[in-house]
Amino acid sequence: MEILFAILTGVLIAASTYLMLGRNMIRFIFGLILLSNAANLMLFTAGRLTWGTPPLVPEGAAAPDGVVSNALPQALILTAIVIAFGLLAFAMVLVYRAYQELGTVDTDNMRVAEPETELATAKNAPIRQPEDKPSPALDDKSDGLVPGHAMEEQRT
């Protein structure tokens, strides 16, 4: 049974990776959900699937009677669910705000820092050659150094 869950975890991770590499932010959110579910399934599988009673200690006993299930994977999965929900809520708010501001969920069309007009003119613009300007550390004095520049004074 563990092998089946391990294969299912691998399939979920592969599907989430495929969705998260897409250009659509909604697909990214679905990939994030799949990835968190794959992590939960991996924790569940790593905790070993055992049939047993709940890990409750009877009154007056020092340890539970008989075979009990492991409580640690259950606690880790509950923690992972809470963390995944917080991450999902944050990502959904970011996508919603990006859609409100930009009007699209396609990451290729989210070019606020690089507008299309600037890209088109930058591609056709000639390459500028650096101009011969004196360094700010140089002065018109005969030694060429400005007082107070320790790095320049140490080189001479």
Total tally of structural domains belonging to the chain? 1
The CATH number assigned to the domain holding 96 equals 1.10.287.3510
Structural domain contains residue 117: yes
**pLDDT at residue 2 greater than cutoff 70:** yes
pLDDT digits (tens, 9 = 90+) for 37-76: 999 999 988 887 777 777 788 888 888 887 888 888 889 9
Structural domain contains residue 110: yes
Structural domain contains residue 154: no
CA 72 to chain centroid: 26
Alpha helices in 23-149 (DSSP H): 25-46, 71-102, 116-124
pLDDT digits (tens, 9 = 90+) for 114-146: 766 655 565 665 655 556 555 555 545 555 555
CA distance 28 to 37: 14
**pLDDT at residue 152 greater than cutoff 50:** no
Structural domain contains residue 62: no
Structural domain range at position 111: 2-52+70-124
Residue with tokens 């390459």: 127
**In this structure, are residues 146 and 139 in contact, taking their beta carbons and an 8 Å threshold?**
yes
Of 6-20, 108-122, 141-155, the one with minimum mean pLDDT is 141-155
Structural domain contains residue 46: yes
